[in-house]
Structure 1
Amino acid sequence: MSPHLPRRAVTLGLAALLTVGTAPAALAHPAGTRLADVRVLAHFDRAAGQAAESIAPEPDGGAVIGMIPARQVVRVAPDGRVQVLATMPLPPGGGSTPVVGIPVVTGVARTGSGDLYFLYSTGQAGQTGIWQLGRSGQPRLVVPMPADTMLNALVVDGARHRFLVTDSAGGRIWQAPLGGGPATVWSADPALAPDGFLGANGLKIHDGAVWASNSDRGTLVRIPLLPDGGSGHAEVRATGLAGIDDFDFTGRGTEIFAAVNEAGELVRVSADGTHETLLDAGDGLQGTTAVAVRGDRVYVTNGANLAGNDPTLMLAKLRRG
């Protein structure tokens, strides 16, 4: 995100100044969860606007990353090589996305068959929405979204053949057909609303529910999935996480790893809502934006917007006790 934006605006991105070997070899915690072999997998080009925002892991150990404000989707190979897959064009007049002010690529998602989708917000109709990146490398708008949305996280709900998307400006979760078509509001529960800046941010489907983070309120919210796919009443499952961005489940029930952007921390949130820090500024984190768990691999993105100038993708091994 642009360094000229207000300080709160730049916290959508993350900063980390980290070199291989600065993190401990293993971090032990009371419930038995450990992170081992924490390292930098890839460095990005901060001067080119490559502020890493979101993560879609790939089966081979690589990952696809959304970049703000470069408006890019990039692939990181298992050996750390970075390939730009797409750069989105600026809209006429430059665009004016709600809250952040500039066009941004945010959430990325990958289907089981390898189809790749991403979010692009510009403040203008006709470009804001869910895009598909085809094998030809040419992006295609599949779900137009309203110009007043600030799209953030993208989830493919394969069981119900739909997308789910958080709108941080409107404090809503939208849904749209997986094959493309009009989007509708799935939930506008007050627990998703912003309190001056960003509301609903990260998004996951787990445990018969849709889970979302609220950055302004520092909360993790669980919204039950009704039998018809609709939304139940939201319940707050964790508090005290001011500036929380993305999150993911560790594989131990409803235990969560959360990227707390403003504090520059990777936090473990237990099922009862209590939380503890796993990685922080002492490990080089300066504004974590995203975390993704796949098997025993844990990916963390650093955007170098809040501080520092070395945006990275970090990789660690997950050890469950």
Structure 2
Amino acid sequence: MRAHLSTGARRRAATLCLAALLAVAAGAPAHPGHATGTRLGDVRVLAHFDRAAGQVAESIALEPGGGVVIGMIAARQVTRVARDGSVRVLATMPLPPDGGGTTPVVGAPVVTGVARSDSGAVYFLYSAGRGGLTGIWQLRPSGGPRLVVPLPADTMPNALVIDRERNRFLVTDSTGGRIWQAPLRGGSASVWSADPALSPHGFFGANGMKVHGGAVWASNSDDGTLVRIPVTRDGGSGRAEVRATGLAGVDDFDFTGRGTEILAAVNQAGELVRVDADGSHETLLDPGDGMRGTTAVAVRGKRVYITNGANLAGNDPNLMVAELRRR
């Protein structure tokens, strides 16, 4: 039997129904980032590198004018790529006397992270399995590079960051599962954090790193996580918290300028992934877009730089650029 409602009752029922629908819509989460998340456009290769010469692109440091400095793993080189894509080798590190076979995990000497100070000084990491060679090196306008911060022979320094607020270097140690710190002027290094969230489980733990919003962020390649470590008032490390999971083989990453939204290079899958503030993530570029062993990403304004090491697939290590498009 159908009930008969007065006009007022029908209006009240319609109002309640609309209110319920609005409440459901407000409480339902949107598909991660699809409405407002960053996108990439105009993706292209800016420079190709020589795989036969060991130029496996690993890291990026931004320079004024649109150029970048890149660390080349197997070639033991630091290179500069100009805005027009021209490539120049700035330094090639010598082989250690024993050939570098004692370098942790990889068994060969490698140049990894690079960084540039506000004064224009370029620094890079060399891991050679030997004391006196492994550590932070500085390029000099004349003469060869010089070691400014020695690190223990059993470390695998990977990412190099300059913490400008604290006037110090920070370095991830991928096999030790640690982050080291050292004065920017050079000298002795000490362990800043050895939180279990940085530990390796078979290969590399702490890998990429950035300083952002009063905290040090690091990726853990083995765990597939992004980790946030608060910086305490005295510059020390707080307790790490995992902010994203499900990123197996994650390497370097950078912030887009929109809160804690991140672009992450996933090496094993050959992907560039956007990670939202809630830890959800979406693949923006994959092998179909030319990603091959993606190692690093750096954001400058609306320009994104991406290195492909092509160390697991393909034969074209390169530097790509893309336009950052916000929605």
For 1:92 and 1:155, the matched residues in 2 are separated by 29
| Residue equivalent to 2:88 | 83
Partner residue in 2 for 1:105: 111
Alignment of 1:11-50 (within 5 A): 29-50=34-55
Q: Match of 2:274, SS? A: strand
State the distance in 1 between where 2:316 and 2:142 align. 31
Task: State the partner residue of 1:64.
Answer: 69
What count of residue pairs does the alignment treat as equivalent?
Answer: 294
Shift of 1:57: 1.2
1:225, CA displacement in angstroms?
0.4
Preserved contact between residue 303 and residue 322 of structure 2 (Cα < 8 Å): yes
CA offset digits 1:268-303 (Å, max 9, x no partner):
000000000000011121211000001111000011
1:15 matched residue in structure 2 = none
Aligned to 1:152: 158
Letter of the 1:57 partner, please give it.
L
Provide the rounded CA distance (Å) in 2 between the counterparts of 1:129 and 1:58.
22
C-alpha contact 2:123 2:137 (8 A) present in aligned 1? yes
Task: Return the offset for 1:137.
Answer: 5.3
Q: Which amino acid aligns with 1:34?
A: R
Alpha-carbon separation, structure 2, partners of 1:34 and 1:193: 32
Letter of the aligned partner of 2:53 in structure 1? Answer: A
Which of 76, 91, 99 is the equivalent residue of 1:94?
99
Please tell me whether the aligned partners of residues 294 and 310 of structure 2 are also in contact (alpha carbons under 8 angstroms).
no
User: Structure 2: which amino acid aligns with 1:272?
Assistant: D
List per-residue Cα deviations over 1:20-72 (Å, max 9, x = no partner): xxxxxxxx943241211110000000000000000001111010000010000
1:133 corresponding residue in structure 2: 139
More helix by share: 2
Greater mean deviation of Cα atoms: 303-312 or 202-211: 303-312
8 Å CA contact 2:54–2:75 kept in 1: the answer is: yes
Residue identity opposite 1:271 in structure 2: A
Structure 2 letter corresponding to 1:107: G
Q: Secondary structure at the match of 1:191?
A: helix
Contact 1:85 1:137 in 2 (8 A): no
Superposition RMSD in Å: 1.0
Q: Does 1:166 align with 2:172?
A: yes
Tell me, yes or no, if structure 1 residue 283 matches structure 2 residue 277. Answer: no
Name the residue aligned to 2:269.
263
What is the rounded CA distance, in whole Å, between the counterparts of 1:221 and 1:245 in structure 2? 12
For 1:178, give the aligned amino acid. L
- After superposition, give the CA deviation of every residue in 1:83-116 in whole Å (9 maximum; x if it has no partner): 0000000000101210111000000000111110
Mark the structure with the bigger radius of gyration: 2
Which amino acid letter does the alignment assign opposite residue 112 of structure 1? D
Q: Give identity over the alignment, percent.
A: 79
Q: TM-score, normalised by structure 1?
A: 0.90
Give CA-to-partner distance per residue, 1:162-205, whole Å, 9 cap, x none.
Answer: 10000000000000010011100000000000001000000000
TM-score w.r.t. length of structure 2: 0.89
Does 1:188 pair with 2:194?
yes
Please state if 1:306 is matched with 2:316. no
- More strand per residue: 1 or 2? 1
Distance (whole Å) between structure 2 residues aligned to residue 94 and residue 138 of structure 1: 20
Letter in 2 for 1:78: R
Q: What are the within-5 Å matches in structure 2 for residues 216-231 of structure 1?
A: 216-231=222-237
Structure 2 residue identity aligned to 1:133: L
Q: Secondary structure at the match of 1:69?
A: coil
Aligned to 2:5: none
- Corresponding residue of 2:325: 319
Q: Which runs of 5+ in 2 are unaligned?
A: 1-32
The answer (yes or no) to whether the contact 1:86–1:137 under 8 Å persists in 2 is: no
Gap regions ≥5 residues in structure 1: 1-27
1:138, distance to aligned residue in structure 2 (A): 1.9
| Matched residue type, 2:90 | L
SS at match of 1:291: strand
- Letter matched to residue 72 of structure 1: Q
- Shift in CA distance, 29/35, structure 1 to aligned 2, threshold 3 Å: farther
